[in-house]
Amino acid sequence: MFMKKNLILFALLGLSLGTFCQTNTLNNGTYEGRSCSIYGNEPYKGVTIITIKNGKIQQVTFNILDTLKNELFDKNYSSHFPAEPLYQKQCIEDWKGVLLYPAQLLKKQDIRSVDAVTGATWSHNLFVSSATIALNKAGLSNSK
């Protein structure tokens, strides 16, 4: 009886671990995610477009849209703050993130493995949030 209970317990444990470790298959296609992340009072949205082929991430683009100016955040965006060197520096740092985060996701194939760049937390939060939305549309159900 003891042996039978242990055998059943190990079988259930094995099934639950197999389910826990199972990876989601991403559906082929191109998916877009848009998010303001935790910055609901700001006019910026992260926009990530992810292309999936054969269940793998093949292409990632990321932009930040200033919805008030209807303009993309880019390497020259700091010019909006001519008298504020701190904001200028922050724009430069976040621009580095805008360029690096898509490449990290493409290489690592896991949004949870995209590391924040020092000084570029704002762009990281917008990227992770918008990319997660796109990946969920592609079939990823647990991208926390």
Residue 131, burial from CB neighbour count under 10 angstroms (0-12, 13-18, 19+): buried
Give this prediction's pTM: 0.82
CATH code of the domain in which 66 resides: 3.90.1010.20
- Residue-wise pLDDT for 60-119, tens only, equals 999 999 999 999 999 999 999 999 999 999 999 999 999 999 999 999 999 999 999 999
Decide if 11 is inside a domain.
no
Decide if 127 is inside a domain.
yes
Decide if 17 is inside a domain.
no
Decide if 144 is inside a domain.
no
Residue 141 is predicted with a pLDDT of 78
What domain count does the chain have? 1
Q: Can you give the residue range of the structural domain that contains 44? A: 25-137
Decide if 62 is inside a domain.
yes
Residue 10 is predicted with a pLDDT of 40
Decide if 61 is inside a domain.
yes
